[in-house]
């Protein structure tokens, strides 16, 4: 039970034994595969327009039907996985890095640094996130890169608060006092002692954050201010679904299912990591 | 209590200043500046006339002077004129759009409470039962469903296939010819789907929250005491446990304001509801900066107000807060 190795393997064992979390992980792996090897899952080109076969219902040659330009929906859903994966990871990467930075500074140094940074966090939280994202996008061009950056820049406040709280409690522990007594500097204490101990809650927040970022991206793309056609994204396929809502249910059903399953996967994995990292919280 | 409220109010002042600063700076950084949109595309606009326009709008003044002026106008809710062809004041446009958005959000909050509290309490009391497991699955699915997708599916099912409910707008074409009761019924039919969808995300969150609160409370000593002195289980659950578990829910009410406002952009656009969310979306699509900044600022104020009401409400309900 002592030492980080055994707690690490305990953690992995608890995580794998949690069937829901394992299922979530499997879903995520599956969508990773889709993004890496789209050709294996669909023989059609995602952007190949075929005006003879417009809005065909699902059939043997087009298992998920075709859209209003005759493009294969399965191919578009498969290639769309890349977009959501990219957005999820880059946006959360930005948010986590920023949140870590602000949270560590705030928690470790306290005083006026903490006061200023936390008031800034409070203020950012006053803006409805979706409003803020839309406003910034209106100033920029809608593109996948801008979307990722904007979702990241508007999503770090939760992580910052979390890291700050963890840092506050960790820096009062005996092992930090011991390190200080041995003459360790601020950098060493932060990176050797505080940071590693905040990793579990950050991992949970990041996993759930990927789910949130995917949902936000799909909503933005659906509204036409996210990923721009012809690049397929689950959200912008659904725009076509809305435009043809009276004739083509398959255009609305399948991309949405893909979003639902992916987001569910990340949420289940995130909850699983939380339970495995701190079994006392299980079932809450 | 009054002292608590006063202290809480004081705390909002720096936030208000911060919000106004961010809004101002964003507006200032708008591509082409506030007058750019009107003159950049105009080949007849000379450098001289641009400078004249700048002076006219006070844009040649130092930044802090401009901020001061802007703050003064904000205080009187003057957000300037919309860039759209009608050129009407932004405040006026927002004012006529807010009631429908608030109506839908208040109705959906009512729905959330009506459904989520009983579900959460039942799940907690019968932890591990079939009901608990089904509702947990439902909650997790609810968290993962993109609301706009659910909206599309409901439109297909109830609007297109079954033809039970209208799928766009807030009134039928023959609305004006209907009697009072007919009008109410017509408006109601148009609002069923939007209200359901506006409340959907909150429904999942709130029932989960209620469940974990309830589980927490049930473990407390005073519940054991209540049981030990032989009170009927119903009294223990409803009089002792549920009352205490409900307290933090007040906070959630206030904190859900930004999510509800953000959601209104999506469902008002989908259902073609002429509310603030749709107005905001139109503003974003046409780069109507004064309108965007006006709604963003109002959204932030509403959120701040929600937080304030939540804290005050909580302090009213729980003496430990106002004395701590």
Q: Look up the ipTM and state it.
A: 0.83
CA distance B316 to A276: 38
> A253 CB near a chain B CB, below 8 Å?
yes
Q: What's the pLDDT tens digit per position in A9-36?
A: 777 788 878 888 899 999 999 999 988 8
Residue of chain B whose Cα is closest to the Cα of A123 = B15
Q: What's the pLDDT tens digit per position in A221-237?
A: 999 888 888 889 999 99
Nearest to A245 among B156, B269, B285 (CB): B156
Nearest-neighbour CA in chain A from B179: distance (Å): 31
CB B232 within 8 A of CB B166: no
- Whether A263 and B155 lie within 8 Å, measured CB to CB: no
Question: How many CA atoms lie within 13 Å of A14's alpha carbon, on the beta-carbon side?
Answer: 17
- Whether A223 and B295 lie within 8 Å, measured CB to CB: no
Structural tokens at position B101 = 């958005």
Residue B323: what pLDDT? 66
Instruction: Please say if the pLDDT value at position A282 is more than 60.
Output: no
3-state secondary structure labels for all residues of B106-136: HHHHHHHHHHHHHHHHHHHHCCCCHHHHHHH
CB B166 within 8 A of CB B189: yes
H or E segment to which residue B143 belongs = helix B130-144
Across the A/B interface, how many CB contacts are shorter than 8 Å?
Answer: 144
> A123 CB near a chain B CB, below 8 Å?
yes
- The mean predicted confidence, pLDDT, of chain A is 87
Query: In chain B, which residues have their Cβ closer than 8 Å to the Cβ of A131?
Result: 258, 261-262, 265, 280, 295-296, 299
CA distance B176 to B186: 11
Sorting pLDDT into bands at 50, 70 and 90, what band is A161?
very high
For chain A, what percent of residues have pLDDT higher than 90? 41
CA distance B264 to B256: 12
Residue of chain A whose Cα is closest to the Cα of B34 = A139
Q: What is the DSSP letter of B237?
A: I
For chain B, give the longest Cα–Cα distance: 88
- Whether B262 and A130 lie within 8 Å, measured CB to CB: yes
Neighbours of A52 (CB within 10 A): 7
Nearest-neighbour CA in chain B from A215: distance (Å): 6
Structural tokens at position B100 = 């429908």
Query: In chain B, which residues have their Cβ closer than 8 Å to the Cβ of A249?
Result: 156
Query: In chain B, which residues have their Cβ closer than 8 Å to the Cβ of A238?
Result: 148-149, 152
CA distance B269 to B280: 10
Closest CA to B158 of B150, B167, B149: B167
- Whether B262 and A128 lie within 8 Å, measured CB to CB: yes
Closest CA to B283 of A139, A248, A284, A275: A139
- Whether A119 and B15 lie within 8 Å, measured CB to CB: yes
Nearest-neighbour CA in chain B from A48: distance (Å): 25
Q: What's the pLDDT tens digit per position in A44-85?
A: 888 888 788 888 888 888 888 888 888 888 999 999 999 888
CA distance A270 to B49: 58
H or E segment to which residue A135 belongs = helix A129-139
Query: In chain A, which residues have their Cβ closer than 8 Å to the Cβ of B160?
Result: 245-246
CB interface of A with B, residues 15-74, below 8 Å = none
| Average pLDDT of the residues in A206-211 | 94
Nearest-neighbour CA in chain B from A52: distance (Å): 25
CA distances B200 to A270, B155, B265, B282, B299, Å, are 22, 15, 15, 24, 21
Quickly tell me which residue has 């659906």 as its tokens: A222
Quickly tell me which residue has 């705390």 as its tokens: B11
Closest CA to A46 of A62, A30, A60, A33: A62
CA distance B158 to B30: 42
> A218 CB near a chain B CB, below 8 Å?
yes
**Mutate which: B10, B29, B149, vs A, most A CBs within 10 A:** B149
Q: What's the pLDDT tens digit per position in B44-72?
A: 667 777 777 777 666 677 778 888 887 88
> Residue ranges of chain B with pLDDT lower than 70?
30-45, 56-59, 323-324
CA A60 to chain centre: 34
- Whether A252 and B283 lie within 8 Å, measured CB to CB: no
- Whether B156 and A225 lie within 8 Å, measured CB to CB: no
CA distance A156 to A101: 10
Q: Give this prediction's pTM.
A: 0.86
Residue A284: what pLDDT? 47
Sorting pLDDT into bands at 50, 70 and 90, what band is A1?
very low
CB interface of A with B, residues 261-280, below 8 Å = 261, 263-264, 267-268
């Amino acid at each position: 039970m002592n030492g980080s190795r055994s707690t690490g393997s305990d953690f992995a064992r608890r995580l794998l034994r949690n069937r829901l979390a394992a299922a979530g992980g499997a879903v995520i792996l599956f969508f990773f595969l889709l993004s890496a090897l789209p050709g294996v899952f669909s023989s059609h080109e995602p952007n190949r327009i075929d005006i003879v076969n417009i809005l065909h219902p699902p059939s043997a040659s087009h298992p998920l039907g075709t859209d209003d330009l005759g493009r294969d929906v399965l191919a578009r859903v498969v290639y769309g996985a890349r977009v959501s994966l990219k957005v999820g990871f880059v946006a959360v990467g930005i948010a986590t890095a920023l949140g870590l930075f602000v949270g560590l500074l705030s928690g470790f140094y306290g005083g006026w640094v903490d006061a200023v940074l936390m008031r800034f966090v409070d203020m950012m939280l006053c803006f409805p996130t979706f409003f803020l994202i839309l406003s910034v996008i209106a100033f920029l061009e809608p593109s996948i890169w801008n979307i990722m950056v904007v979702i990241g820049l508007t999503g770090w406040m939760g992580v910052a608060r979390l890291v700050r709280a963890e840092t506050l409690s960790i820096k009062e522990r005996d092992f930090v006092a011991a390190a200080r007594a041995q003459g360790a500097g601020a950098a060493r204490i932060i990176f050797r002692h505080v940071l590693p101990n905040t990793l579990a809650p950050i991992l949970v927040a990041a996993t759930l954050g990927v789910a949130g970022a995917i949902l936000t991206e799909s909503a933005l793309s659906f509204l036409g201010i996210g990923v721009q056609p012809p690049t397929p994204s689950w959200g912008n396929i659904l725009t076509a679904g809305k435009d043809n809502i009276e004739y083509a249910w398959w255009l609305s059903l399948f991309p949405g299912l893909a979003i639902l399953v992916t987001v569910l996967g990340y949420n289940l994995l995130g909850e699983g990591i939380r339970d495995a990292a701190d079994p006392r919280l299980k079932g809450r | 209590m009054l002292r608590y409220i006063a202290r809480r109010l004081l705390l909002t002042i720096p936030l208000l200043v911060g919000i106004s600063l961010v809004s101002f700076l964003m507006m200032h950084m708008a591509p082409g500046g506030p007058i750019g949109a009107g003159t950049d595309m105009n080949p007849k606009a000379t450098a001289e006339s641009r400078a004249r326009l700048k002076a006219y709008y006070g844009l040649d003044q130092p930044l802090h002077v401009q901020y001061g002026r802007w703050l003064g106008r904000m205080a009187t809710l003057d957000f300037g004129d919309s860039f759209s062809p009608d050129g009407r004041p932004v405040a006026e446009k927002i004012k006529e759009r807010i009631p429908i958005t608030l109506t839908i959000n208040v109705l959906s909050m009512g729905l959330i409470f009506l459904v989520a509290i009983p579900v959460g309490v039942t799940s907690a009391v019968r932890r591990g039962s079939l009901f608990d497991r089904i509702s947990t699955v439902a909650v997790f699915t609810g968290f993962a469903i993109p609301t706009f997708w659910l909206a599309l599916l409901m439109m297909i099912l109830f609007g297109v296939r079954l033809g039970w409910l209208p799928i766009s707008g807030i009134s039928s074409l023959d609305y004006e010819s209907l009697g009072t009761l007919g009008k109410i019924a017509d408006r109601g039919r148009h609002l069923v789907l939007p209200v359901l969808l506006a409340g959907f995300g909150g429904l999942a969150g709130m029932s989960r929250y209620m469940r974990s609160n309830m589980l927490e409370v049930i473990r407390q000593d005073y519940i054991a005491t209540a049981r030990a002195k032989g009170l009927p289980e119903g009294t223990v659950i409803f009089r002792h446990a549920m009352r205490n578990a409900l307290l933090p829910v007040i906070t959630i009410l206030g904190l859900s304001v930004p999510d509800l406002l953000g959601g209104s952009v999506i469902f008002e656009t989908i259902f073609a509801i002429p509310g603030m969310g749709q107005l905001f979306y139109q503003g974003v699509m046409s780069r109507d900066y004064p309108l965007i900044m006006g709604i963003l600022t109002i959204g932030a104020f509403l959120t701040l107000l929600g937080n304030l009401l939540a804290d005050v409400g909580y302090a009213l309900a729980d003496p430990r807060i106002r004395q701590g």
